[in-house]
Amino acid sequence: MLAVQVQKPGPIENHSVEEVPDLQVGPGQVLVEVKAAAVNYPDLLVISGRYQTIPPLPFSPGKDAAGVVRSVGEGVNRVKPGDRVLVHVEYGTFATLALAREDQCLPLPKGMAFTDAVALGLAAQTAWFALLERGGFEPGHRVLVTGASGAVGQAAAQIANALGGRVLAAATNVDRARGLLDDGSYHFVDLAAPNLRESLREQVHAATEGHGADVVIETLGGDIFDASLRAMAWCGRIVTVGFASGRIPEIKAGHLLVKNIAALGLQWTDYRDRQPQRVARAHAALAALWERGALKPRIMKTLPLTQCAEAFHLIDKRQASGRIVLTMD
């Protein structure tokens, strides 16, 4: 089999595709012939050694993939060889074969391409749990999504819109965000406007008749997180998903008290590992949104596995206007 091999975390150029021994299925495991794998921002953190957990060396990165079940181990009865599945694992999908537990394999809807499956994949799951499980979203809520041109941001905006929210899609490049969220249902907020501390609140209040954001899905951190706190409605909730801007913000408890607001975090992989049944339910709901055309993955580029370095560079330089997908054919 072919696999991206990380011998030691470090610069992108240090990691290459190598021929390695085929994986062997064990009890409770499923061996999947990978057809497509999405490149996510956490993958870049993993290979560079900046993620919270680093797999045992050497390893193949990659957290989700879509493909066809080749074989199953003893005790597996929910999936069978030939099934088309989406898999969510901690690492190992940037390869032609991947192993997953049975409960990490989710059925693909009829007609969904492998590339579309992974373009939704981890990003859509993260957005769903941020909105519904942590953010307490309800129809009619004003939802501010920062980093709306990123993978999680796009998915969060589309999901909130499809479920009856009023979405404020915030981005440092509003034109790029408009191109990715193009059905006219969104109000766009410019994160590059001068004096962000004041301008973000002014834009949000202007778009919500002074109400503010009931739910904030915050993917960027830093100054944008700080400004988002000021744009929240009374009893609002801000869910931090990541810190793509680089700075991890700190919160003064007084802000939470005075405005009756809540700040929450989401580490989606904990749900994958602790409560896979909830992940399966979210997958079914996301598949239903896709089937009715409400959730549309935006794929900027598909690249063969051997060009994984180019995919990493696009993510690293923030040049990805849409998802980057690796294919194994």
Do residue 97 and residue 127 come from a single domain? no
> CA-CA distances (angstroms) from residue 178 to 126, 154, 254, 321, 322?
22, 10, 36, 11, 12
Do residue 61 and residue 167 come from a single domain? no
Do residue 237 and residue 172 come from a single domain? yes
Surface-to-core class of residue 190, CB atoms within 10 Å of its CB (0-12 exposed, 13-18 middle, 19+ buried)? middle
Question: Does any domain span residue 288?
Answer: no
Q: Rounded to an integer, what distance in angstroms lies between the CA atom of residue 198 and that of residue 39? A: 35
Do residue 144 and residue 234 come from a single domain? yes
Q: Rounded to an integer, what distance in angstroms lies between the CA atom of residue 201 and that of residue 212? A: 8
Question: Does any domain span residue 259?
Answer: yes
- Looking at the 3D structure of the chain, how many domains does it have? 2
Q: Range of 149's domain? A: 123-268
> CA-CA distances (angstroms) from residue 176 to 190, 271, 308?
11, 31, 24
Do residue 71 and residue 44 come from a single domain? yes
Residues 6+ apart with CB under 8 A from 210: none
Do residue 135 and residue 244 come from a single domain? yes
Question: Does any domain span residue 116?
Answer: no
Residue 127: give its domain's CATH number: 3.90.180.10
Q: Rounded to an integer, what distance in angstroms lies between the CA atom of residue 180 and that of residue 156? A: 13
Question: Does any domain span residue 279?
Answer: no
Check residue 1 and give its pLDDT: 97
Check residue 53 and give its pLDDT: 86
- The total number of residues shown for the chain amounts to 329
Question: Does any domain span residue 160?
Answer: yes
Do residue 147 and residue 262 come from a single domain? yes
Backbone angles phi, psi at 17, to 5 degrees: -85, 130
Check residue 309 and give its pLDDT: 94
Q: Rounded to an integer, what distance in angstroms lies between the CA atom of residue 68 and that of residue 305? A: 17
Do residue 234 and residue 302 come from a single domain? no
Closest to 65 (Cα-Cα) out of 39, 90, 38, 40: 38
Could you tell me the mean pLDDT of each successive run of 10 residues in the chain, 329 residues long?
Answer: 96 93 96 97 92 92 97 97 98 98 97 96 97 97 96 96 97 92 90 97 98 98 96 98 90 92 96 96 98 93 95 87 90
Question: Does any domain span residue 251?
Answer: yes
Backbone angles phi, psi at 316, to 5 degrees: -65, -40
**Boundary of a domain, candidates 250, 268, 286:** 268
Residues 6+ apart with CB under 8 A from 117: 36, 66, 86, 108
Cα dihedral 277/286/89/144 (nearest 10): -110
Do residue 222 and residue 194 come from a single domain? yes
Question: Does any domain span residue 174?
Answer: yes
Do residue 68 and residue 16 come from a single domain? yes
Q: What angle do CA 109, 111, 114 make, to 5 degrees?
A: 80
Do residue 138 and residue 199 come from a single domain? yes
**Boundary of a domain, candidates 247, 268, 289:** 268
Check residue 329 and give its pLDDT: 77
